[in-house]
Structure 1
Amino acid sequence: MPAHRAVSRAVALLNLTGICRSPINAVRWERIEPWSAARVYLGSGTDARTLVVKWIEDGPGQAPTAHRRLRTELAALQFLGDDIGTGLAPRVIAADTGLLVLEDLAPRVALDRLIRRDGAAPHSERLAAFARARGELGAATAGQGDTYYSRLARLGSIDPAADRMGRHASHRDAGIAHAVALGAPLDGRSARELAATLDELCDPGPFLALSNGDAEANNILLHASGTPDARLIDFEFAGYAHALTDAVCLYVPGPAWMSVGDPQRTGLAGHYRSALARTVPEAEDDRRYGFGLAAASMSWALIRMQRFAVLDTRPPGHHSRLQLIATLEAAAHTAETHHALPHLSAWIHLIATLLRHRWRDADQDYADAATFPPYLART
């Protein structure tokens, strides 16, 4: 629906439900780009406030998927707020078909915006808050999947197995195919470790917890100054999965980050792990934790490898090529550091070496922070 109609529907919904103490009207609103969302300024005495409205855009072919994503977000936010009472995400104020009215988290802003503006160094406390929030989400939701899926089932169909494998599972298969075609055959030992990796993700045991499905710095809001007070957003792809998939972003570059530095040295690894261990004691077991983290990191590297065909057509010097190599090597390094999946790590290193030979422009040291600052946005 158009933005103006979404705002009008939201105001009418609020007045109909009587949530506010007196009738309200929208004084003004502003689009929150690039999403189908707007900040709405309401007016009426003591009920003057701002809210965020999310809606489904009109368009052929996207309605079923968009509705499913909005239902997922609604269920996840209500689960977090109403069922387990965590303050990690925005509160749902009202909901209707194709429409969510949410608590406005301003003046918090997205962490990635702060990092792109100032660099990572000035925001070490906010990065620590980011790592803790990811661990706290896992700790708060571990073992409560039945409650979440019961709520989601009241809104539509559920597929817990697909959630565990992640929405990018098909990309992982494509990444493996690209690697084999490049000249990196998956031998028996590597294949067995890959199978063990997928088994770990399919059956996380005590590490099964809710994820918003996109653990990146653009999906956490914090105050630009003062004490970090983190809130997680964007739960449209939420589902119960291996909790350590939410820790991968601390070790392995994501879509917007060139490198993530050394999470052990910066303390980010410890912030995440100690937060998760609050209710998941297995997170303190080096072997269990290390294997799960290695499995999640390897899976993510292979998912990113599916971009090979696109990157191969880009001009020499394009940083996205270097980022893919960095992603592969960081995932292998993570597994090696945690003494897990040695044969699969060697295979990932081989893929990275083949890419360095193929893309001579990308055969350089991506860890040089002076040239490639951590968290710098890439396309």
Structure 2
Amino acid sequence: MLLTDPEVLRTESRSVVVRARVVGGGEESSVVLKHFRDDPVCGLDEWAGLLFLTQRGLHVGPRFLAGSEEARLFVMEDLGRGQRLEELLQDDDARTASGGLMSIVRLTALLHVRTLGAQSDYDSVRQAIEPRHERVRIENARYLVDNAGRLRRWVEMVGAREDPGLQADLEQLARELADPGPFLAFTHGDMAPGNSLFTREGPRLLDFEYAGMRNALYDALMWLLTVPLPEELVARADAYYRSGLSQGCYAAQVDSDYLRARATVAAARTVNVFQWISPKALERDRDWAPGFTERAALLRHLERCRFLMEPLNPVPALARTLQSLEARLRERWTVELPVWPAFR
């Protein structure tokens, strides 16, 4: 394959992404190349994820075409140009933004249903490239427990109350992250609104750097927890996703099982946010994500987590600790939570 007319799409600390035209392939024939120079694990996880999906004929992202471990580079299908969900949310058309979100929800449910329990198939792809020393969900579980001190530092610094059962609950969360049972599926791992593209063939997901086999509802956190959306739309997305997942996962049909799995991933992600954001936010607020400051992100997670754990709370001691933390932070901060332009 001979390539020409390179166009740099993105350059950052971890990787460089380039579009190039295929010589002799016609005006619209092009591919995308990704060179992962500084984080080979993320690069190889994306490589394996795209290859795994391509082999299964599951077109939820760009098809994998070729790669070189030595060069730390792989080639994938060029999905072309199109709008991303983030752009729809930034526009002023609520109907289009809502429809775009629901199409991503449908695509996510399809991804999970078609990969439920496929750990051995995924492992055969991932380990054949450059063996990964540990599965991603085990890393996620270990990080939660190993960095418990960061959450405790927040609790101590604002004068909140740590429930005596906090450590046991964190260990319980870690066990459920490591072993999600019937909810084990291949996940994208970074479902930000910017990591999607609406193409002529339909919606697709981009940037599978954090992909791997874990609790399917990890991806659903995008609309359940992290992205500020109208409550009615969140409820609709949750019901739609659950209906789609239920087509292949019996546990998703059982209220107690589904609500527990949902609460588990929401609680774990909320703890993670306090492990990622430094208590320096007590002194100065900084940007966190598009439209979000660190303080807004922390309060958003606490509020949504409290709601998601109310129907079935698997970690009551952690819930009480987070509620105390939320009360103390609301005494300190008056933060207006962001609203996407489409829903103002």
Indicate the residue corresponding to 2:308 in structure 1.
334
Which of 303, 314, 326 matches 2:284?
314
The alpha-carbon deviation at position 135 of structure 1 amounts to 1.9
TM-score, normalised by the number of residues in structure 2: 0.85
Indicate the residue corresponding to 2:240 in structure 1.
271
The alpha-carbon deviation at position 178 of structure 1 amounts to 2.6
Which of 67, 80, 92 matches 2:40?
67
Q: Tell me, in whole angstroms, the C-alpha distance in 1 between the residues paired with 2:237 and 2:210.
A: 24
The alpha-carbon deviation at position 146 of structure 1 amounts to 0.6
Output the amino acid matched with 2:32: V
Indicate the residue corresponding to 2:163 in structure 1.
187
Q: Tell me, in whole angstroms, the C-alpha distance in 1 between the residues paired with 2:98 and 2:201.
A: 10
Q: Tell me, in whole angstroms, the C-alpha distance in 2 between the residues paired with 1:329 and 1:172.
A: 22
* 2:310 match: secondary structure: helix
Indicate the residue corresponding to 2:7 in structure 1.
30
Q: Tell me, in whole angstroms, the C-alpha distance in 2 between the residues paired with 1:251 and 1:45.
A: 43
Q: Which portions of structure 1, spanning 4 or more consecutive aligned residues, are displaced by more than 6 angstroms?
A: none
Listed as ranges, the matches of 1:238-249 within 5 Å are 238-249=211-222
Please list the CA deviations of residues 347-368 of structure 1 after superposition, one character each: whole Å capped at 9, or x if unmatched: 2121111111233x33x6x3xx
- Stretches of structure 1 lacking an aligned partner (at least 5 in a row): 1-13, 15-23, 367-371
Q: Tell me, in whole angstroms, the C-alpha distance in 1 between the residues paired with 2:308 and 2:88.
A: 27
The alpha-carbon deviation at position 269 of structure 1 amounts to 0.6
Indicate the residue corresponding to 2:143 in structure 1.
169
Aligned residue-pair number: 330
- Is residue 21–residue 29 contact of structure 2 (8 Å, CA) maintained in 1? yes
Which of 273, 277, 293 matches 2:262?
293
Q: Tell me, in whole angstroms, the C-alpha distance in 2 between the residues paired with 1:133 and 1:351.
A: 36
- Is residue 164–residue 240 contact of structure 1 (8 Å, CA) maintained in 2? no
Indicate the residue corresponding to 1:40 in structure 2.
20
Listed as ranges, the matches of 1:119-198 within 5 Å are 120-166=94-140, 169=143, 173-181=148-156, 182-198=158-174
Indicate the residue corresponding to 2:61 in structure 1.
89
Task: Indicate how the Cα distance of structure 1 residues 308 and 45 shifts in structure 2: closer, same or farther if over 3 A, else same.
Answer: closer
* 1:184 match: secondary structure: coil
The alpha-carbon deviation at position 268 of structure 1 amounts to 0.6
- Is residue 197–residue 206 contact of structure 2 (8 Å, CA) maintained in 1? yes
* 1:188 match: secondary structure: coil
Which of 327, 340, 344 matches 1:353?
327
Q: Tell me, in whole angstroms, the C-alpha distance in 2 between the residues paired with 1:167 and 1:202.
A: 6
Higher mean C-alpha displacement, 327-336 vs 174-183: 174-183
Higher mean C-alpha displacement, 282-291 vs 313-322: 313-322
Q: Tell me, in whole angstroms, the C-alpha distance in 1 between the residues paired with 2:29 and 2:53.
A: 23
Task: Indicate how the Cα distance of structure 1 residues 128 and 168 shifts in structure 2: closer, same or farther if over 3 A, else same.
Answer: farther
Rg comparison, structure with higher value: 1
- Is residue 172–residue 299 contact of structure 1 (8 Å, CA) maintained in 2? no
Please list the CA deviations of residues 114-144 of structure 1 after superposition, one character each: whole Å capped at 9, or x if unmatched: 3223465431111001112222222111111
Which of 4, 7, 32 matches 1:52?
32
Task: Indicate how the Cα distance of structure 1 residues 322 and 272 shifts in structure 2: closer, same or farther if over 3 A, else same.
Answer: same
- Is residue 270–residue 302 contact of structure 2 (8 Å, CA) maintained in 1? yes
- Is residue 76–residue 235 contact of structure 1 (8 Å, CA) maintained in 2? yes
- Stretches of structure 2 lacking an aligned partner (at least 5 in a row): none
Q: Tell me, in whole angstroms, the C-alpha distance in 1 between the residues paired with 2:96 and 2:85.
A: 12
Q: Tell me, in whole angstroms, the C-alpha distance in 1 between the residues paired with 2:187 and 2:134.
A: 12
Q: Tell me, in whole angstroms, the C-alpha distance in 1 between the residues paired with 2:218 and 2:49.
A: 18
C-alpha root-mean-square deviation of aligned residues, in Å? 2.8
Q: Tell me, in whole angstroms, the C-alpha distance in 1 between the residues paired with 2:215 and 2:284.
A: 34
Which of 174, 180, 190 matches 1:204?
180
Please list the CA deviations of residues 178-230 of structure 1 after superposition, one character each: whole Å capped at 9, or x if unmatched: 3331333432345444433222212111111111221221212114xxx8822
Higher mean C-alpha displacement, 267-276 vs 331-340: 331-340
Indicate the residue corresponding to 1:4 in structure 2.
none
